Chain A
Amino acid sequence: MSDTQLPQGDPKGQDSGVHPAHSGPTGAPTPMADRPDTASTDDQSSAHQVAEAAAQSSTEPKPVENEYDGADRETQPAPSHDVPESFNVTVIVRRYDPEVDDEPRWVDYDVQMYPTERILDALHRIKWEQDPSLAFRRSCAHGICGSDAMRINGKNRLACKALVKDFDISKPIYVEAIKGLPLEKDLIVNMEPFFDSYREIQPFLQAASKPEKERHQTIAQRERFDDTTKCILCAACTTSCPVFWTDGQYFGPAAIVNAHRFIFDSRDEASQVRLDILNDKEGVWRCRTTFNCTDACPRGIQVTKAIAEVKQALISGVKL
């Protein structure tokens, strides 16, 4: 196998990595050509392409006798911090501070980026090196906490999972807050309406009996709702839904996904309650199957399918 180049490699590269991995359509904001999961598989080779050649690390490790030897070491090794070849990207962020701005405004930033970095790194570089007032949410930085859903080139993505190399970097990358929730500042929206819808579908197991140990569930029964347990409540789906944009009362895909998670859990006894809630005029029937939600979901959840299964359950009952 070939050696994999790490995020911080060595500068003497053979291939600059300035070429775009994919070229998206033109126009601004530009929708991106690929979804992250498809992109990540077929970009495996480009990760290697942009790899730089090796140069011997200057702090060559000294051989030591055994695991407890080596008191003469000066410092310990860490992945080397030499700089791989970088490129410049223009990131255009829709900024808004209600304390000073009447209207949101697009602001350009030129950012130096490395091939393995993500849009979140670009935002951090802007915040940490150019304009510390830029406001956005983030925490885990690897797609698990759901803090940093935003609209990137017109598509909802987690900034921490959107790799720069997957964009056409010869053009600017547009970043703005997710749509349909009240804009608070820069990339931050008010999440309360989103969580309100979630809480309304009674997202907790309801079962009368209290077993002594665990409730039993077969592997197949567990598999039935596995997909929808992955949800991290990032709101990427709900805020990519055209129905939600025009009708803020609509429960939205995320709430339905979480209802699905319980409706199809063999241990739960309140499926009908949730189905009744979703039978509301602002419930599942508003879904027009545009698939935006499925495309947006960073967890790869088949959101549209989950909604269809809930609709089906309303028509013909829950089949576990």
Chain B
Amino acid sequence: MAETSSVTDGIHYHQHDVLIIGGGGAGMRAAIEAAPKASTAVITKLYPTRSHTGAAQGGMAAALANVEEDSNEWHTYDTVKGGDYLTDQDSAEILTREAIDAVYDLENMGLPFNRTPDGKIDQRRFGGHTRDHGKAPVRRACYAADRTGHMILQTLYQNCVKHGVEFFNEFYALDLIMTETPEGKRVAGVVAYELATGEIHVFQGKAVVFATGGFGKIYKTTSNAHTLTGDGVGIIWRKGLPLEDMEFYQFHPTGLAGLGILLTEGARGEGAILRNASGERFMERYAPTIKDLAPRDIVARSMVQEVLDGRGAGPNKDYVYLDCTHLGAEVLETKLPDITEFARTYLGVDPVVERVPVYPTAHYAMGGIPTNNDAEVLADNETVIPGLYAAGECACVSVHGANRLGTNSLLDINVFGKRAGNNAVAYAKTADFVDLPADAADGVVKMLAQLREGTGTESVAEIRKALQETMDRNAQVFRTEETLQTALADIAKLRSRYPNVRIHDRGRRFNTDLLEAVELGFLLDLAEVVVVSAINRKESRGAHMRDDYPTRDDVNFMQHTMAYRTAAETGASQGIRLDWKPVRVTHYQPTERKY
């Protein structure tokens, strides 16, 4: 096992076989596979237990059939249909097949799932998960109250402690080092910034796994943490590698109105109902069969439609209600305790007796770093980059297509996190280290110096706020050419202001002022890719609803978007080239999506 470290010219050098970037669910699941077999380092900007996997509430899907008949094949069908036929069907088959073991793995590692009366893992209903190809909702989500993600994150961290995984906590990965070798592009390592000291660390590794999570902070109203700024996706992008399906960003129907804090779909799984101002159960009109348990894109759109049609509730008629009052205190306190408390604390509304104001909130990136089924990162539609892996929300396999089903992401991070860890070790066992270039750290050193020493007058907070506001207004649930062009023009203006941001904290220690500026850089890059990809997709599919192209167009658009960065320098706009990648179809031909 290789594992060394040294300091040269003030820069720290480390060597590990496997480098995992991100200590959330996907990163730690990978680490549990890798660490026992090869020298492994997890580089994470947050303490692992602070990762946003811990915020996930509702559950993790697997056709265990513990409470009623179920099958992988039904789960695959739902995943493909839920993804509006943009899902790669062979990948979805892997996801649903390996789901079963993924849940048992977690249980065996200690996860305290809720139980059935006979002591098995209990399961509940969730949006878009159905019995026998859409006949009725099915109980498929394994859960631990409404803190399933918290329990997954804790359990994985506990097992990392058990395996002695080495963490570099509060280290921000800022660059990936790739070297041209006679056999093509290879990864050599990662450059990271240590929050506590402001020092730069170069990690040499044979295999690198990106597991850096999502980028919800391109939006203002979001269920995502402040730290979900898409750093990993941004690093890959800046390396000239493609990003897939970035226009597909999911809005979760039930965010606490005005705040974006999530109330799990598990609430509707337990029987909660959406109502408009007059108390009507409006989902009966939009999805007659499964109603409130339709997939998120449909429910979110229906909610916005109710508000647009003047049937919204509240003083400004700008939200709808989630009605849990008929569930009773017992169900709320035992199966949904956290969200009950969120509503009480943050809106002063008690779900036991009152309807809760809700509105869609930016939630999940279906798109991201393209990978194959082995979690290997792709340089184009087919070519893999040896030794480079991605898993979790930052990756796009694509198992979620145009719209992810609830409970399929906690599943994704476990299934593909495990695959990434295993494959990274297998690769590291056979490969040699690639030499680090002498100037490995230069890019990061230069970027930080420019920011730190800049004499401009722009404020990071103001630019970020303007970005988030234009994205909320113009690239949300419904979009048109016009709104998207407005967003694009706004982003261009913000990008040209960005080089003049002023960092007030000139110190080295815990300089969060500096890091917020770095994070803003990633947000600006990614928001532009989202908008440019959205402009290019002149159809409506899944989470991408174009008012000016309201129907799905399988002839022209049943394919993945692949975006490439063409210009080397950051400027007002980046130079983005768009291409397509075919969808892999195995069994399910696209049909109209009705629920």
Residues of A256-283 contacting chain B, CB below 8 A: 262, 265, 267-268
Task: Digitize B354-367: 1 where CB-to-A-CB distance is under 8 Å, 0 elsewhere.
Answer: 11010100000000
Q: Give the distance in Å from the alpha carbon of A195 to the alpha carbon of B160 in the complex.
A: 13
Residues in chain A near residue B505, CB distance under 8 A: 132-133, 135
Contact, CB under 8 Å: A77 / B354? no
Q: Give the distance in Å from the alpha carbon of A79 to the alpha carbon of B516 in the complex.
A: 26
Tell yes or no: A309 within 8 A of B by CB.
no
Contact, CB under 8 Å: A53 / B315? yes
Contact, CB under 8 Å: B158 / A6? no
Tell yes or no: A197 within 8 A of B by CB.
no
- The closest CB in chain A to the CB of B308 belongs to A61
Further pairs besides A54-B316, A98-B509, A219-B119: 15, Cβ < 8 Å:
A8-B258, A44-B348, A67-B305, A68-B551, A69-B550, A71-B480, A116-B346, A132-B505, A141-B226, A143-B345, A145-B51, A147-B47, A147-B50, A199-B161, A215-B107
Residues in chain A near residue B359, CB distance under 8 A: 78-79
Contact, CB under 8 Å: A40 / B344? yes
Tell yes or no: A107 within 8 A of B by CB.
no
* Chain B interface extent, by class: 35 or more
Residues in chain A near residue B18, CB distance under 8 A: none
Residues in chain A near residue B338, CB distance under 8 A: 144
Residues of A19-48 contacting chain B, CB below 8 A: 36-37, 40-41, 43-44, 46-48
Q: How many residues on chain A are close to B (CB under 8 Å)? A: 102
CB distance from A102 to the nearest CB of B (A): 15
- The closest CB in chain A to the CB of B162 belongs to A204
Residues in chain A near residue B264, CB distance under 8 A: none
Interface stretch of the complex, out of A168-176, A184-192, A289-297: A184-192
CB distance from A245 to the nearest CB of B (A): 22
Among B47, B110, B309, B482, point to the contact of A205 (Cβ < 8 A): B110
Chain A, interface SS category:
loop
Tell yes or no: B74 within 8 A of A by CB.
no
Residues in chain B near residue A73, CB distance under 8 A: 308, 478, 480, 547
Residues in chain A near residue B159, CB distance under 8 A: 204
Contact, CB under 8 Å: A79 / B319? yes
Q: Give the distance in Å from the alpha carbon of A217 to the alpha carbon of B551 in the complex.
A: 49
* A204 and B161 in contact, given A140-B52, A140-B54 (Cβ under 8 angstroms): yes
Interface stretch of the complex, out of B179-187, B469-477, B559-567, B576-584: B469-477
Residues in chain B near residue A82, CB distance under 8 A: 316
Tell yes or no: B500 within 8 A of A by CB.
no
How many residue-residue contacts, CB under 8 A, span A and B? Answer: 278
Task: Digitize A109-131: 1 where CB-to-B-CB distance is under 8 Å, 0 elsewhere.
Answer: 00000001000000000011101
Tell yes or no: B331 within 8 A of A by CB.
no
Tell yes or no: A90 within 8 A of B by CB.
no
Tell yes or no: A94 within 8 A of B by CB.
no
Residues in chain A near residue B550, CB distance under 8 A: 68-69, 71
Residues in chain B near residue A100, CB distance under 8 A: 507
Tell yes or no: B510 within 8 A of A by CB.
yes
CB distance from A93 to the nearest CB of B (A): 14
Tell yes or no: B4 within 8 A of A by CB.
no
Residues in chain A near residue B121, CB distance under 8 A: 214
Tell yes or no: B115 within 8 A of A by CB.
yes
Contact, CB under 8 Å: B315 / A10? yes
